[in-house]
Each structure stands twice: as C-alpha cells, then as structure tokens.
Amino acid sequence: MLIIGAGFGGLAAVRALRRAPVEVVLLDRRNFHLFQPLLYQVATGGLSPGEIAYPIRSVLRRQKNAQVLLAEASRIDLERQEVHLTQVPGEAAASALTYDFLILAPGATHSYFGHPQWAQLAPGLKDLEDALEIRSRILLAFEHAERETNLEKRSALLTFAIVGAGPTGVELAGAIADIARRVLREDFRSIDPRETVIVLLEGGDRVLPAFPPRLSAKAAAALAGMGVDVRTGARVTNITPEGVEVGGTFIAARTALWAAGVAASPLAQSLGVPLDATGRVPVKTDLSLAQHTNVFIIGDLARLDQLPGLAPVALQQGRAAAANIVRTLAGKPRRSFHYLDKGNLATIGRASAVADIRGLQLSGLLAWLVWIFVHILYLIGFRNRLLVSMEWAWDYLSPQQAARLITGRPRL
Amino acid sequence: MLIIGAGFGGLAAVRALRRAPVEVVLLDRRNFHLFQPLLYQVATGGLSPGEIAYPIRSVLRRQKNAQVLLAEASRIDLERQEVHLTQVPGEAAASALTYDFLILAPGATHSYFGHPQWAQLAPGLKDLEDALEIRSRILLAFEHAERETNLEKRSALLTFAIVGAGPTGVELAGAIADIARRVLREDFRSIDPRETVIVLLEGGDRVLPAFPPRLSAKAAAALAGMGVDVRTGARVTNITPEGVEVGGTFIAARTALWAAGVAASPLAQSLGVPLDATGRVPVKTDLSLAQHTNVFIIGDLARLDQLPGLAPVALQQGRAAAANIVRTLAGKPRRSFHYLDKGNLATIGRASAVADIRGLQLSGLLAWLVWIFVHILYLIGFRNRLLVSMEWAWDYLSPQQAARLITGRPRL
C-alpha cells in the first residue's frame, strides 16, 4: 500500500491505517509535514519554519506498519501499478515502487493563468521556501527604502501589491499592515514604516468570495481600518519588477505577492485520465478512480462535487479513503464520501478574523479567538502547540517579532 | 562614526556608545546578530535559526543615536576615509559612506588551506545558511541510506567525517552521535541509525588543542564513549564526493564537514596594510591601526598578542574600542586593551562538556551545566533565552527534535 504526499490528507490516511493489516509506505519529497494554514505567518515573520513543520518520521515513529520514504514520484503507471521515482544523485538508476492500493495526495501548486514569467516577480505561498522568500522580500523592501534617497523610488519600495483576496491574500495584507504599523514602527531612522501602502487586488467583486457576503463586507471594512487599499474588480494585466498593471492603471510596487490561483500537482498528468481545467482528477464518490478502483485521489488533486481545497476536506478524505481500503480488504462494500463542513475561518490581522460556522457568522475579536483555538488544536504535536501559543502570546503583548530574519544566501 | 559588522564585537561597540555624543552607523550585510557559539545546534537540528539570531534593529530600537544599515562593505579607502558599498539592484550607482571614526569587525570565514574546491564537498560552519546546509546533508544521508540497498554504499552514507577537532569539530561530532544513537533511533525501518560511524580527524596530536592536555584527554574519552572514532595526527590530503583521504588511507564517507581552518574577512585586503598569514590585521595595544589611529580593528580580524578568535575577546574589544573613541573625543589618552579571560568552554555531547575557568578544570555534567548557564546568559534577548531553555529542557526529556527540517529547494 502506497501513499504519496504527507500533507493533511496523506498523513490522515496513514494514521487511519495504523491498526489495519497492511504495510504502508508513505512517500514525500520533503521530510516534514507542513501546517500550511499558518504558512503566511512564516512569510510575515511571526513564526519560524520549525514551528509549523514537523518531521514525518517523528509523527509516525511508533506506527510500526508505516515506512516513510523521502523520494519524489515522477510518474505513475496505472496499468503496471508502479510509481516511478526521481533519481537520487549516486543512485545507479531511477527506481520504481509497485503497489496494490495507491492513495494519491500530492497537493497543489501555484497557477499564474498562463503567465509563468510572473512567478519570479510575484511569488506565491505554498511551501516553506516560498514563505522565507516572501519574508525576505518584505523585509528587504523596508531595508532598501531606508537606504533610498529618491522619494519616488522609496515610495515604490514601501508599496506592496497582493494579487488575490482569498484567505491567503487577506492574511498577507493584514500581516504586512501589522508589521508596518506596529512591529517595525521604531526600527528605522530615515523612513517611517507607517507610510507603507498595501494594495489588495481582487478580480471578483468582493474579498473572501468563499464566505457569505456579509462577512466579506466585514473583512473589507477591517482591512480598510488597518490601512489596506482594497480594490475589487481589479484584474491584473501585467507584472514587472517595478509594479503591477491593473487594466490601464500602473501601481508602482517593488514587492508583489501572488495569492490568486492554484493548480493541481502536475503528477496527475502522468495518469493518462481526463483532468478538469485546474488539473484536478475527477473521482467517484468513494474517492477512487473510475477505471482503477485500487487508486484513490484525495485533497487538492481530487475533484468531487464543489469541494474547496481546504485542510479539513483533505483530512476527512484521507480517513475516508483509508476506511474504504480496509472495507475492501474485508470484503465489505465501500462508502461514499460526505464532507462534514465544520466551518470556514479566515484571519484578517491582529485580533480580527471572520468565521462562518454552519450559518453562524462571527467577525472581529471573537472570530479571531475561535481561529486561534482551532489552529492550535490542529497543529500536530504538543510541542509545536506550546511553542506557537508562546509566540502568539508574546506577539500579542510585545511589538517585537524574532522570526524576522532575512535568510538565504545574502542578496542585497 | 561607522561600525562594520554586527557580531559580538561590533554590537558591543555600538551599545557601549549609547550615551556618547556621537551618531553611530552600524553596517551589516545581514539583518540579524547571530549567536555563533550555538550555530552547531542549528546544524544538527537542536535549534531553529530564529532561536539564535536576533534582528539588529530590534536590539538597537531604543538607541536613538544608532542607525542600522543593511549593506555590504566592498572596499575601504583609508586615505579618503570612505567605505564603499556593494551596489543594490535598482540603485543608480554604488554608494560610499564617509567616517570620522571607523570600527572594523567583519569577522572571519573558512580557510581550506589552498584547496578551495573542498568547500563544496565539506562545508564549514560560519553562518545560518552553512548550518542549514549541514543539517540537510546530515539528515539526507540517513534518508538516502534508508533507500539504499547496496550495503557498501549504505555504510558510506552512514559515515560522517569531520575535519578538525577544535570546539566546532568536537561539538559537531558529539551532536551527530547523539542524533544517530538517540534522536533517530526509532525513525527508520531499513537502517539502524546506531550503526552510524563518526570519524573525527585532527591534524595535531590531541583534540581541543586550546585546552589543557588533561581536558583534551577527558574530551577524547567522552567522544570515544559516544562511539566517535577520534584520530589525531590525521592530516587530510584529499576530499572527494565519496570520502576523505588521510595520508594513504581512504575513508568512505558521503558526508564530510569542515571545522579546521579560519581566515580573516577578505575586506581587510582593501586596507593596503600588511596582514598576517591568516589575513588578520596587526593592531596597536589600543586596537587602532598604526598609521590611521581613527580606525579600530576588533574581533576575528584583529591580531593582538596571541588572542584567540572567541566571542568574549570580540565583545571586550568592542567595548574597549568604543571607550577609546570616547576618550579621544574628550581629549583624554587612550588605554591599552587587556583581555580578561573568564574561561574556556566546549560542549561534547548531551550532558558532557569541558571547562577551563582560570585554572579550574571541569569536565562531564558539571562542565555542561556551566556551559548551559553561560550560553543562556549571553543569548541576546529574554525571549530567545526562554525559547532556547524550553528547547533544551524538552530535548533533555524527550528524544525528539522538531528543528529537524531539511529545507532549501528540494534536492533529492
């Protein structure tokens, strides 16, 4: 039994199989599980990478029927039931693994809607390296502004354009506003970080389109209150190193961030089955493939009903796929997957969020407390829960953030 | 007044000038102060980068006579009293800063004794990126060993060669032994990490040559007890991707680490003054340059008596240089620098260290407790002290380490 991807879905599937009479091999190209919902906090200096990432081997240390393999799947051969791996330096040849059951949970990547050249100019937020790159760009913009004497250039350095006002875009905008107005307030001598301009660009007609309109309005008002310039109906037509073009208008912004589109993992293309427009694989209600019922697709790669690409969906699908495998092995019929929607949360800034919990619509501090509670609850491992609570408590009490490091090889 | 370098020396100088009637500009190419004595713990997964690095702007936030500039000095013109900066992308031209007084504290880098091609094969440990690179190499070696079926190759993957048995080499050897025998013990299914071989190669006749011979012997015995293969009188003659050659013997080790030589910052070469064999600048007893008494050299770049390149030396020199500038401005005579040697510490592994405190020689658990106490005391910022104490307490109680992430762009 092979599971590809140790995100929320893949890891949930492995854990759900801990008492099943199977040997599970979990494949991931990274050695850690990433708590993606908090990735924006790494990108904005609130948390360190180690606080939202947890070694997969540690999570599964005591699960003796699970083996972890650090490897990248390059291609899947459904007919021969084989997964081909990317060759490792020093290996004689690329190897392959065979499977009886396969759970595919490789996640998603960015989509620049046919403009791949924008990727360098406006990085998206999917993995830890993205987060550290974005953190460096944000902090370097302030550093360069401190050195810049030309006022026009300085103001472009202090302008941040965020493309896309889904949860990630809203979270990034709120966090950058917080850095500029609170965290960095006393840090500079030539510039005043409070002069920072944050432009949040949304192609649709409101922010957080997955939420009820009332909460979108609350979120937009909260963002405006933090000084974020929210522009809806604003479709980006070009991105250059100097800024972002929206229709006929050019916004001079030396830092642009991408939070607009996702595309399913390119691994799906090797399956040879029809994909939808964003590269997802349509699955049956039991989460398996129509022609290959021993192959399950879960999480961001699966297309089923109108389910969104959220952690709880992946998590529940991982458990459901595992349960269907166990039933199949026991000669029992499979069950259809039904998503239990516990609610939808998005944080806006310090002490502000929106929550839509089965029709109950919350906003402001109360929604933020719900958000804090849920995220700490779901963070894998008591140790990380403790560290993150401390960081947040500290951050709430003090304006300093220690995770504010510009790393990567020095680039000035 | 210009200070180059925000290490122990440079930062101590800035802080010592907080009540002086001067405007201080502190230049560093990184935006954080790095607590280098704990860097080996980042390299071996015990600590996260954010726990030993602190934003310089945060440290100096309230010191209103200090301005921080994120910039790299490319060249110093002693005659024109100018420091030239590396050009920033987007800048019209490289800029320069003039100074009345200059304190030079740029630190040191690795020296591969005329074999620059070894740098890629056996990384040294000077900055955060080095530490994360070493961490990735160590952890990837275990991961690749888990995938490797050829026993000879597997054993080369599980062999670590460390060149140089000064404090850094000893600390790395001890920490890798601890990872292999304790932290990773239950994590793998195909390999047994306890079969790891750690070879510590020292060209001289004993480990920790800066310590009294009795403590060197204690350290060597402690390392042997942890399973480290200590070889003295072992001069490395070649390093290849497959291993390390010592005289006629070849040690098959897929991971080699360099802890043998340091060289002063290459910035000194632009001074046009005579340098010693390791690139250091001889200074007068007041820490200034013979022909340019308004220029002070401190820390790893300064050559004065036989002072070692240690944090306490740099720290005391930073304060002394600052005090001499204040005296000069007040028309008072300068004072000679005298190093107050508070002792010498090196940790060997979990609950083991050696300490030479003004003739008092300690080893084992007691020395380790002294080491823990001193390092937490000196870590800048209460917040980091708290986090690091928690990590260590946790690490002591539990075999798991959360900072065990392989980061950087995925390389398999």
pLDDT at A411 exceeding the cut of 60: no
**Averaged pLDDT for residues A314-339:** 97
Identify the weakest region by mean pLDDT among A64-78, A386-400, B45-59: A386-400
**Averaged pLDDT for residues B43-66:** 88
Interface probe, candidates A143, A154, A159, chain B, greatest B C-beta count within 10 A:
A143
Give the SS3 label for residue A262: strand
pLDDT tens digits, one per residue of B283-298: 999 999 999 999 999 9
Give the SS3 label for residue B197: strand
**CB contacts, 8 Å: A49 with chain B:** 48-49, 405, 407
**pLDDT tier at A106, thresholds 50, 70, 90:** very high
CB-neighbour burial class of residue B33 (10 A; exposed 0-12, middle 13-18, buried 19+): buried
Give the C-alpha distances (Å, rounded to integers) separating A189 from A261, B67, B298. 38, 6, 26
**Averaged pLDDT for residues B174-194:** 92
Interface probe, candidates B29, B61, B152, chain A, greatest A C-beta count within 10 A:
B61
Look at residue B412 in the predicted model and tell me its pLDDT.
39
**pLDDT tier at A24, thresholds 50, 70, 90:** very high
CA A242 to chain centre: 26
Chain B nearest C-alpha distance from A274 (Å): 29
pLDDT at A11 exceeding the cut of 80: yes
pLDDT at A400 exceeding the cut of 60: no
- Give backbone dihedrals phi and psi of A31, rounded to 5 degrees, phi first: -90, 10
**CB contacts, 8 Å: B139 with chain A:** 31
- Helix H segments across B179-271? 213-225
B90–A405: do the CB atoms touch at under 8 Å?
A: no
A147–B406: do the CB atoms touch at under 8 Å?
A: no
**CB contacts, 8 Å: B123 with chain A:** none
**pLDDT tier at A1, thresholds 50, 70, 90:** very high
Look at residue A412 in the predicted model and tell me its pLDDT.
39
**pLDDT tier at B342, thresholds 50, 70, 90:** confident
Interface probe, candidates B128, B390, B400, chain A, greatest A C-beta count within 10 A:
B400
Look at residue A410 in the predicted model and tell me its pLDDT.
45
B402–A55: do the CB atoms touch at under 8 Å?
A: yes
B29–A412: do the CB atoms touch at under 8 Å?
A: yes
B90–A129: do the CB atoms touch at under 8 Å?
A: no
ipTM attached to this prediction: 0.87
Number of residue pairs across A and B with CB atoms under 8 Å? Answer: 162
**pLDDT tier at A408, thresholds 50, 70, 90:** low
Tokens of A112: 């620049």
**Averaged pLDDT for residues A297-310:** 93
- Chain B residue with Cα closest to A141: B70
pLDDT at A139 exceeding the cut of 50: yes
Q: Give the predicted TM-score (pTM) of the model.
A: 0.90
**pLDDT tier at A45, thresholds 50, 70, 90:** confident
**Averaged pLDDT for residues B332-342:** 95
**pLDDT tier at B387, thresholds 50, 70, 90:** low
**pLDDT tier at A97, thresholds 50, 70, 90:** very high
Q: Which of A51, A171, A202, A391 is catalytic?
A: A171
CB-neighbour burial class of residue A28 (10 A; exposed 0-12, middle 13-18, buried 19+): buried
Look at residue A150 in the predicted model and tell me its pLDDT.
93
Measured between alpha carbons, how far is A222 from A230 in angstroms, rounded to an integer? 10
Nearest to A405 among B32, B153, B402 (CB): B32
Chain A nearest C-alpha distance from B116 (Å): 19
pLDDT tens digits, one per residue of A232-279: 999 999 999 999 999 889 999 999 999 998 898 989 999 999 999 999
pLDDT tens digits, one per residue of B190-247: 999 999 999 999 999 999 999 999 999 999 999 999 999 999 999 999 999 999 999 8
- Chain B residue with Cα closest to A48: B50
B171 is catalytic: yes
Look at residue A377 in the predicted model and tell me its pLDDT.
79
Q: Are residues B85 and B72 in contact, defined by beta-carbon separation less than 8 angstroms?
A: yes
CB atoms within 10 A of CB A73: 23
Tokens of B263: 């060289």
Residues above pLDDT 90, as percent of chain A: 73
Q: Find, among A135, A2, A78, the residue nearest to A289 by Cα.
A: A78
- Chain B residue with Cα closest to A132: B408
- Chain A residue with Cα closest to B59: A187
Look at residue B47 in the predicted model and tell me its pLDDT.
85
Tokens of A266: 């390119």
**pLDDT tier at A183, thresholds 50, 70, 90:** confident
Chain B nearest C-alpha distance from A403 (Å): 5
Q: Find, among B348, B163, B172, the residue nearest to B260 by Cα.
A: B163
Identify the weakest region by mean pLDDT among A136-140, A183-187, B271-275: A183-187
Look at residue A393 in the predicted model and tell me its pLDDT.
64
Q: Find, among B326, B363, B74, B46, the residue nearest to B183 by Cα.
A: B46
Chain A nearest C-alpha distance from B87 (Å): 8
Look at residue B52 in the predicted model and tell me its pLDDT.
87
Q: Which of B171, B202, B245, B391 is catalytic?
A: B171
B129–A407: do the CB atoms touch at under 8 Å?
A: yes
